[in-house]
Amino acid sequence: MRVEEAELEVITRPPASGLVVRHSWQKHVLTFLMVFGPGLIVMEADNDAGAVSTYMQAGGQYGLHLLWTLIVLLPVCYFVQEMVARLGIATGKGHAAMIYERFGKWWGRFSLIDLLVVNFLTLITEFAAISLALSALGISPYISVPVSALGLTLMVVTGSYLRWERIVIALCLIDLTWFALAYVVQPDWAAVARSTVNPGIPAGGITSSLVFLVIAIVGTTIAPWQLFFQQSCVAEKRLRFVDLKWARLDTLIGATFTVLVAGAMMLVGNYGFQHRVVFEDPAQLAVAVGPLAGKFVRSGVLLLMVNAAVLGTTAISLASAWAYGEVKGWEHSLHKKLWEAPGFYATYIACVGAAGAFVLIPHVPLQLVIISVQVFAGLILPSAIIFLQLLLNDHALLGDPWVNRPWNNYINWTIIVVLFALSLLLAAQVMLPNLFK
Amino acid sequence: MATMQSSYKPHYYNVVHPLKDVPEQKCSSEGLGQIAMTPSVRLSLRVLRGYLMLMTVMLLYHVLDLAGALKHFKL
């Protein structure tokens, strides 16, 4: 570890002023609240439009039978993102920059280009969801998409990370409405509890569509952009070594909240299953169950779909802008004004604007976009996660306090092997469909 | 420092927001070069290369299949 000259200068400054409290518990609560944010945002933004669709399809096709997958995924999400938070705090840099610095230009460029491509394709699906959901509410895509894109741009150009973070946390908390929707559709709560802890096989047995839906749930719960996003976000927030335990708690709360919201989405999908509603996307389900479940469910699903897409779009676009800015050596911070970090903001605006414009093209091949997302995610996720694991074992960079412990490595290598296998299987199913007939 | 006991009020805690705190020394890769090629790093990167090559071959197959270039080779 080396002390940068510029850092030496600032370290000698007097301690910054803060809030004075009297009790130790107040200190802990206040520190946690100050650190809280990146963990919740990265997890809840992962419940984006694609995730809403996947979880509701899981409920719509298999009822409550796949609820157990979420319990399995909770520790997986936590362990992966905890490594990201630890690396971000230890280095103060983003994931893309670390791959460049420690693995060289080839791997750095590969990771960056793949990330940018998969993120852009995912953004198209987010805007497609906004267009679908608001069309069902009678708003033309030619109004909803540009207005959303403008709102998403205004969210970030205020020159304040904290302002952006507060807006996004508020959007995350809107997802609490999923619990109200799950309550309104009145599932059999005893059956919900049983299915959550007891992996059961749906009627019809283990079919290829069941297997691939399970893989899709895994794929949507652990997305490649999350690794890049949280590390950059932690660096942006300048979290300190002493904040690590609170960053871990933030990540755990985020993972738990996300899994619970995903479960609520499955319960709403299950309502469609119970009433034999066939649907291809959540907007269709919302419209179909409206006369049965009421206006609250209909409008709730549609508006929450938009919220999910907005959350996903801002996080994914920022992941791209941070990664590109880090690698290019540009100013890449939400603390900067628009004119102080033009490249960073231009990347964000270009991602949002181009994805929004793409959706407005008549007869756009969305199915091809969705398939491409799965293929590129299959390329980037295993590689990004391998680099993460290797960086967390890099003693020369991190020193002993921050590297993985042996038990970390046992768990993480297991997760990596499973993710490799599932990514390969999903990509193979997409590209070689005849193999799975 | 996230929290400090004030020297003149020992029973009070000063809680500083990370963005308002003085920057701390981070782990820097400057001067370290690229990661050391230990057996586990080498093996991981080889596995990753193999995985990516396999994915590329599948992708090429899929593109050729969609283009109809493989219809004469199918059994």
Share of chain A above pLDDT 90, in %: 67
How far is C-alpha B47 from the chain's CA centre? 16
Residue of B nearest to A108 (CA): B34
Confirm whether A11 is domain-assigned.
Answer: no
**Entry field: residues in chain B:** 75
- Structure confidence at residue A3 (pLDDT): 42
CA-atom Rg of chain A in angstroms: 22
Whether B58 and A101 lie within 8 Å, measured CB to CB: no
Q: How far apart are CA A383 and CA A224, in angstroms?
A: 9
Whether B13 and A22 lie within 8 Å, measured CB to CB: yes
Confirm whether A3 is domain-assigned.
Answer: no
CA-atom Rg of chain B in angstroms: 28
Whether B23 and A24 lie within 8 Å, measured CB to CB: no
Q: Read off the pLDDT band of A4 (50, 70, 90).
A: very low
Q: Are A197 and A292 in contact (CB under 8 A)?
A: no
Best residue of A87, A109, A242 to probe chain B, by most B CBs closer than 10 Å: A242
- Structure confidence at residue A174 (pLDDT): 97
Q: Read off the pLDDT band of B8 (50, 70, 90).
A: low
Nearest CB to A242 within list B1, B55, B62: B1
Q: How far is B72 from chain A (nearest CA, A)?
A: 16
Domain ranges of chain B: 37-75
Whether A3 and B25 lie within 8 Å, measured CB to CB: yes
Nearest CB to A396 within list B3, B17, B32: B32
Q: Read off the pLDDT band of A188 (50, 70, 90).
A: very high
Residue B4 has pLDDT above 90, yes or no: no
- Structure confidence at residue A423 (pLDDT): 79
Residue A422 has pLDDT above 50, yes or no: yes
Confirm whether A163 is domain-assigned.
Answer: yes
CATH code (residue A242): 1.20.1740.10
Q: For A142-185, how does the pLDDT look when each residue is reduced to its tens digit (9 = 90+)?
A: 999 999 999 999 999 988 999 999 999 999 999 999 999 999 99
What are the E-state strand segments in A72-174? none
Q: How far apart are CA A79 and CA A7, in angstroms?
A: 31
Confirm whether A27 is domain-assigned.
Answer: no
- DSSP secondary-structure letter at A433? G
Q: Read off the pLDDT band of A7 (50, 70, 90).
A: very low
Q: Read off the pLDDT band of A320 (50, 70, 90).
A: very high
Amino acid A124 reads: I
Q: Which residues of A touch B4 (CB under 8 A)?
A: 15
Whether A2 and B52 lie within 8 Å, measured CB to CB: no
Q: How far is CA B13 from CA A19, A250, B7, B8, in A?
A: 8, 22, 10, 11
Q: Which residues of A touch B9 (CB under 8 A)?
A: 20
Q: What is the mean pLDDT of chain A?
A: 89
Q: How many CB pairs under 8 A join A and B?
A: 157
Tokens of A140: 């033309």
**Entry field: residues in chain A:** 437
Confirm whether A24 is domain-assigned.
Answer: no
CA nearest A128: which of A324, A300, A367? A367
Q: How far is CA A241 from CA A247, B4, B14, in A?
A: 10, 14, 17
Residue A309 has pLDDT above 70, yes or no: yes
**A11 or B30, greater pLDDT:** B30
Q: Which helix (H) or strand (E) holds A89?
A: helix A68-91
Q: How far is B17 from chain A (nearest CA, A)?
A: 6
Tokens of A368: 């091809």
**A418 or A251, greater pLDDT:** A251
- In our burial notation (b when 16+ CB lie closer than 10 A, e otherwise), range A118-150 reads bbbbbbbbbbbbbbbbbebeebebeebbeebbe
Confirm whether A182 is domain-assigned.
Answer: yes
Whether A397 and B3 lie within 8 Å, measured CB to CB: no
Q: Which residues of B touch A432 (CB under 8 A)?
A: 58, 61-62
Q: Which residues of A touch B45 (CB under 8 A)?
A: 103, 386
Residue A11 has pLDDT above 50, yes or no: no
Residue B74 has pLDDT above 80, yes or no: no
Q: Which residues of A touch B71 (CB under 8 A)?
A: none
Instruction: Indicate left, alpha or beta for A342 from its phi (over 0: left) and psi (-120 to 50: alpha).
Output: alpha
Mean pLDDT (whole number) for B17-36:
88
Whether B41 and A431 lie within 8 Å, measured CB to CB: no
Mean pLDDT (whole number) for A24-48:
95
Confirm whether A25 is domain-assigned.
Answer: no
Amino acid A118 reads: V
CB-based contacts of A346, cutoff 8 Å, min separation 6: none
Mean pLDDT (whole number) for A384-409:
91
Q: Read off the pLDDT band of B72 (50, 70, 90).
A: low
CA nearest A88: which of A199, A247, A277, A275? A247
Whether B58 and A35 lie within 8 Å, measured CB to CB: no
Three-class DSSP category at A203: coil
Q: Which residues of A touch B15 (CB under 8 A)?
A: 18-21, 27, 30-31, 34
**A40 or A209, greater pLDDT:** A40
Burial class (CB in 10 A: 0-12, 13-18, 19+), A413: middle
How many C-beta atoms lie closer than 10 Å to residue A345's C-beta? 24
Chain A CB within 8 Å of residue B22 CB: yes
- Structure confidence at residue A366 (pLDDT): 72
Mean pLDDT (whole number) for A103-108:
91
CA nearest A244: which of B21, B2, B5, B24? B2
Residue B62 has pLDDT above 50, yes or no: yes
The model's pTM: 0.89
Chain A CB within 8 Å of residue B23 CB: yes
Burial class (CB in 10 A: 0-12, 13-18, 19+), A370: middle
Three-class DSSP category at A365: coil
Segment 46-65 of chain B within 8 Å of chain A by CB: 47-48, 51-52, 54-55, 58-59, 61-62
Confirm whether A395 is domain-assigned.
Answer: yes
- Structure confidence at residue A9 (pLDDT): 42
- Structure confidence at residue B39 (pLDDT): 92
Residue A63 has pLDDT above 60, yes or no: yes
Sign of CA dihedral A147, A149, A152, A158: negative
Chain A CB within 8 Å of residue B71 CB: no
Q: For A335-382, how does the pLDDT look when each residue is reduced to its tens digit (9 = 90+)?
A: 999 999 999 999 999 999 999 999 999 887 776 777 677 677 767 788
Whether B44 and A389 lie within 8 Å, measured CB to CB: yes
Q: A321 lies in which domain range?
A: 33-436
User: Domain count of chain A?
Assistant: 1
